[in-house]
């Protein structure tokens, strides 16, 4: 009997405490005292806030991401010529043309034409915005852990190294082509042609393109050096 009375006393004490909490001014705004529902509500709001703050918003489209047909049309209108590797070497030696190597810095250091300068058109992803993190994850999904992004300082770097009056031959690994073929009726895009497009958009008027790319340059046994000059 004593045990039952003690248990009853404890229950009554708890009910009284619960009653005091329910009548507290903190809970008089029309919400009943429902701890479980309250926790769920807080979790829902927190999840929604986290989703919004972490949304990977894609930046606005850049000129380099323009449709290839549009880029090709501009290159043709601006009379960007394609030159083979031997003519490029002659123009470099006799007419003070600059070979602009737009490959990644590591490839440039392995081997490049003497006197060439390097400004990479794409670089390893450096930023840590939500969009960049999403892009890293997408590359990693396919086993690519050295994903690249457009180099936002490309034009500024070229301006600093050569200036808009320079005569430039843009080169990358494979070169691409403006010439239509059966397989590629609009030609074939490449890093060097994208770079040439950006240059003419920004006021460069003496822009040439290395046909066959530096792969052909090295294959032909033309002069090459390694490291930085």
67-119 pLDDT per residue, tens: 999 999 999 999 999 999 999 999 999 999 999 999 999 999 999 999 999 99
Domains of the chain and any CATH numbers: 68-220 (3.40.250.10)
Range 31-47 average pLDDT: 45
* Strand ranges for 4-88 from DSSP E: 81-83
b/e code 53-86 from CB counts within 10 Å (16+ = b) = eeeeeeeeeeebeeebeebbebbeeeebebbebe
pLDDT (tens digit per residue) in 132-179: 556 545 544 444 445 567 888 999 999 999 989 999 999 999 999 999
Active site residue 24: no
Q: What is the pTM of this model?
A: 0.68
Closest CA to 191 of 111, 114, 118, 133: 118
When pLDDT is averaged across residues 113-132 and rounded to a whole number, the result is 78
Catalytic residue among 17, 24, 54, 172: 172
When mean pLDDT is compared across 23-32, 51-60, 61-70, 187-196, the lowest value belongs to 23-32
Bridge partners, 171 (sequence order):
101
């Amino acid at each position: 009997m004593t045990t039952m009375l003690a248990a009853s006393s404890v229950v009554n004490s708890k009910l009284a405490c619960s009653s005091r909490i329910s009548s507290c001014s903190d809970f008089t705004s029309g919400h009943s005292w429902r701890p479980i529902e309250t926790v769920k509500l807080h979790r829902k709001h927190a999840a929604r806030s986290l989703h919004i703050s972490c949304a990977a918003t894609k930046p606005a489209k850049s000129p380099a991401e323009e449709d290839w047909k549009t880029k090709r049309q501009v290159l043709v209108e601006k009379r960007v010529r394609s030159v083979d590797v031997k003519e490029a070497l002659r123009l470099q030696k006799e007419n003070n043309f600059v070979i602009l190597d737009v490959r990644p810095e590591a490839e440039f250091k392995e081997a490049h034409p003497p006197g060439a300068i390097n400004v990479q058109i794409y670089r390893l992803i450096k930023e840590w915005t939500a969009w960049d993190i999403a892009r890293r994850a997408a590359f990693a999904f396919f086993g690519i852990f050295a994903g690249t992004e457009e180099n936002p300082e490309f034009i500024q770097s070229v301006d600093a190294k050569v200036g808009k009056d320079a005569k430039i031959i843009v080169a990358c690994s494979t070169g691409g082509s403006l010439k239509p073929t059966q397989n590629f009726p609009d030609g074939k895009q490449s890093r060097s042609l994208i770079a040439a497009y950006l240059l003419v958009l920004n006021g460069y008027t003496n822009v040439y393109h290395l046909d066959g790319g530096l792969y052909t340059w090295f294959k032909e046994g033309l002069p090459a050096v390694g490291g930085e000059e």
